[in-house]
Structure 1
């Protein structure tokens, strides 16, 4: 069995925890869209289009 060297956990267990965290985040985003009267699919598409631009702006060197 493969182990996560940092934590000594089996890789499958580490992956399972990561997957659960990602599902929880996605669920939270979808529920927030619904609570604000937004169509979840369109809201997710908007985020996926805008987040890379935001990340590029944040990581750009300050001049």
Structure 2
């Protein structure tokens, strides 16, 4: 935590079938609401948050 800003970074290893290999994806989430930051990171880790990750509406924290 830095000045009320929370940050969570996750690294995901995804299987890329087209290339027959794994790809490393690093995603970072920041915000003032720690619960929202963790929720977004968890949704990304399980693949449920794809619409949020491309710029759709994010709730104000």
Above 0.5 in TM-score? no
TM-score, L = length of structure 1: 0.28
Give the number of the structure with larger relative contact order, counting CA–CA contacts within 8 Å between residues 6 or more apart.
2
Larger Rg over CA atoms:
1
